[in-house]
A and B are shown apart, each in its own frame.
Chain A
Amino acid sequence: MTNESLYQSLYRIRRVEEEIAKVYPTDKIKSPVHLSIGQEAVAVGVCEALETRDIAFGTYRSHALYLAKGGDMKQMIAELYGKDTGAARGKGGSMHLIDLPKGIMGTSAVVGTTIANAVGYAYALKYQRKDAVVVSFMGDGATDEGVFHESLNFAALKALPLIFICENNQYAIHTHQKLRQAQANIWERARAYGMVSERIEHNDVFKVYERVKAAVDALRAGQPGPYFFECMTYRWKEHVGPNEDYNLGYRVRSEAEPWMQDDQVPRIGALLDSSVRQPIEAAIEAEIREAFAFAEASPFPAQSELYTAVYDEA
């Protein structure tokens, strides 16, 4: 981790998603998009602490996780465009990103499902005596679900090499955590299941990195897991789609403003000399242009593809 690598990752995610929002009205992306704009610091802080061999499971809001974990940008944009060259060959869309060589094991559109899958993966890694760790991303809404509690209990019982990351942006669609949970203490509930657990305030990319790095180091050294981090963050855009939604009335813009003022992208950018920052930005802009051009130029899957990949017939 360096300031350069943090900035590179933060800026890259922000700019890709801004481009997605810009292209969206053209209807070239016929897929629901759940943007992470404002939340990038969590995925970046976590993934900077990971190696490629480590495994990540995510949610439908995983553009940031996918890119931070090293996911191929061209394949991601092509997937959003529904193209044959996409990460899931056009069959999964924005909500189902995968990049196996980078350890991105998939993202699910049904809330909470991947939490348990991550637990099983970590169980297998432990049994296989591998030194990789698993991270399981979830929203605050996912912690309402029974599977969250069942999964944490089992992971603690088996002391799995697993780090749970709850991206708490306080909302599930338009419903605030306060309207869904009697207590705003997700991290404490995790601790009660028997794991090291902590809340990380302020969407602070350094703090996220530091805490997750310590956890990864401990797990690699063979110490028992799991760990739980409730990372406080904020979604700037609407739940799904490219626009803002402060007009809907379920939240007010003034609630978002402190988060926007504390934006981690310029914060880290300001730590770099412009002679360092500008080439990073220029390279990313070129990469983004290339990724969109690649998606545009790629073919749609052939009709025969409808029937492939249902079963492994090999």
Chain B
Amino acid sequence: MTKPDLDRIITYTEALREATDQEMGRDPSVVIFGLDVDDPKAIQGTTKGLLQKYGKERVFGTPLAEDAMTGAAIGMALAGLRPIHVHIRMDFLLLAMNQLINVAAKSRYMYGGKVNVPLVVRSMIGKSWGQGAQHSQGLYSFFMHVPGLRVVAPTTPYDAKGCLIEAIRDNNPVMYVEHRILHFQKGPVPEASYTVPMGKARITAIGEDITLVGISYMQLECLRAQRYLATVGISAEVIDPIWLSPLDIDTIVASVRKTGRLVVVDNGWTTCGASAEIAAQVAERLQDERPIKIHRMGFAPVTCPTTPALEASFYPTSRDVAAAAHCLVRPGTTWMPEERADLQCIDFKGPF
């Protein structure tokens, strides 16, 4: 096997565009649509050039009709197409819940395995610049709850490309979750087509004292926290689950078996969320084996406020994660790292 070319640096959005382009080139049954996919901004560039290359039967903007277009996507999938339906905010998926949960997730099982719904639903989580109540929600745990759906939330450009190709080729509905801030990430991405296998987590930093699991954008905050912790001699292992359903709990359990401590940092609310699921599964697996300490972090249990003055405390930061991890490793002591310029989160500047 040749080593993949990791010298090529592109952005997350370019990786998404490339994955879609390569799959559309390879398989004429792949079609992509959604509000604004064919407009000048081309969904942050992720659908740029596809209309010119593949034509308007395979690449089209839709009316504002999330419910009907999701149902139509399912119909297309039943007929043998591989639709990719794009939503610029995850919040808008709430208009499509009936078709996603009652039909897409259920069809294969309730028809005794006779049909498939090979559908990919891309959606983006917003953050900052006043996204507020209705443009900032990370609702993937809704979909993790439902058998029949797959859920993936890649963090790096490399995984963005490989997971999208894996999702398109999968014969089941896949909820593909992006984060608006991750769109700006750059990283190594081989040009040749590849897949990132479903249900496999990635250990993104090796450590001994504590396991940090960061979901979606929170993976970046965990990696920053790991560096803060290193300055006080705490070695954190960081895991990116990548796929939330199926979830690679084995990799997480193996890490916590070693460290005895787990912090799950989610890009959503903790109650009934992905962090609750991961924590519960780890506890079930390790409770008879060894003592463990578990802590969950996520959105404050309130609606996302628009004012930056409050939004700043709505999201856990890398320093909050580091402080919480420190508290588990060295109970009874408190510590909050001084903010470091190189570990600040990138701010998104509007208008949208």
Residues of A within 8 A of B (CB): 24, 27, 30-33, 82-83, 86, 90-96, 108-112, 141-142, 144-146, 172-175, 179-181, 238, 240-242, 248-250, 300-301, 303, 305-307, 310
Contact A307 B306 (CB under 8 A): no
The segment from B14-22, B103-111, B132-140, B239-247 that touches chain A is B132-140
Decide if B149 is an interface residue (CB 8 Å cutoff).
Answer: no
Residue of A nearest to B350 (CB): A32
Residues of chain B with a CB closer than 8 A to A175's CB: 35-36, 39, 61
With contacts A173-B36, A310-B303 taken as known, whether A179 is within 8 angstroms of B61 at the C-beta atoms is: yes
How many residues of B sit at the interface, in one of the four size bands? 35 or more
With contacts A90-B305, A91-B305, A250-B40 taken as known, whether A31 is within 8 angstroms of B130 at the C-beta atoms is: yes
Residue of B nearest to A31 (CB): B130
Query: Nearest Cβ distance between residue A50 and chain B, in whole angstroms?
Result: 26
Known: A144-B64, A241-B350. 7 other contacts (CB 8 A): A30-B350, A90-B309, A91-B132, A91-B133, A110-B95, A174-B39, A306-B314
Q: Which 8 A-B pairs have the closest CB atoms?
A: A82-B307, A31-B130, A93-B306, A241-B351, A90-B307, A300-B309, A144-B63, A144-B64
Residues of B within 8 A of A (CB): 35-36, 39-41, 61-68, 91-92, 94-95, 128-135, 300-303, 305-310, 313-314, 349-352
- A146 vs B68: C-alpha distance in the bound complex, in angstroms? 8
Residue of A nearest to B348 (CB): A30
- A11 vs B185: C-alpha distance in the bound complex, in angstroms? 44
Among A142, A146, A306, the one with the most B-chain Cβ atoms within 10 Å of its Cβ is A306
Query: Nearest Cβ distance between residue B60 and chain A, in whole angstroms?
Result: 9
Residue of B nearest to A307 (CB): B302
Contact A94 B40 (CB under 8 A): no
- A108 vs B351: C-alpha distance in the bound complex, in angstroms? 17
Query: Nearest Cβ distance between residue A117 and chain B, in whole angstroms?
Result: 13
With contacts A110-B92, A175-B61 taken as known, whether A306 is within 8 angstroms of B310 at the C-beta atoms is: yes
Contact B134 A181 (CB under 8 A): no
Contact B130 A174 (CB under 8 A): no
- A7 vs B35: C-alpha distance in the bound complex, in angstroms? 37
Query: Nearest Cβ distance between residue B258 and chain A, in whole angstroms?
Result: 36
Query: Nearest Cβ distance between residue A11 and chain B, in whole angstroms?
Result: 25
Contact B65 A93 (CB under 8 A): no
- A1 vs B256: C-alpha distance in the bound complex, in angstroms? 71
Residues of chain A with a CB closer than 8 A to B351's CB: 24, 32-33, 238, 240-242
Contact B310 A142 (CB under 8 A): no
Contact B61 A95 (CB under 8 A): no
Residues of chain A with a CB closer than 8 A to B68's CB: 146
Residue of A nearest to B310 (CB): A306
Contact A93 B40 (CB under 8 A): no
With contacts A109-B135, A112-B64, A175-B39 taken as known, whether A92 is within 8 angstroms of B310 at the C-beta atoms is: no
Residues of chain A with a CB closer than 8 A to B352's CB: 32, 240-241
Residues of chain A with a CB closer than 8 A to B65's CB: 144-146
Residues of chain B with a CB closer than 8 A to A179's CB: 61
Residues of chain B with a CB closer than 8 A to A174's CB: 36, 39-41
Residues of chain B with a CB closer than 8 A to A33's CB: 351
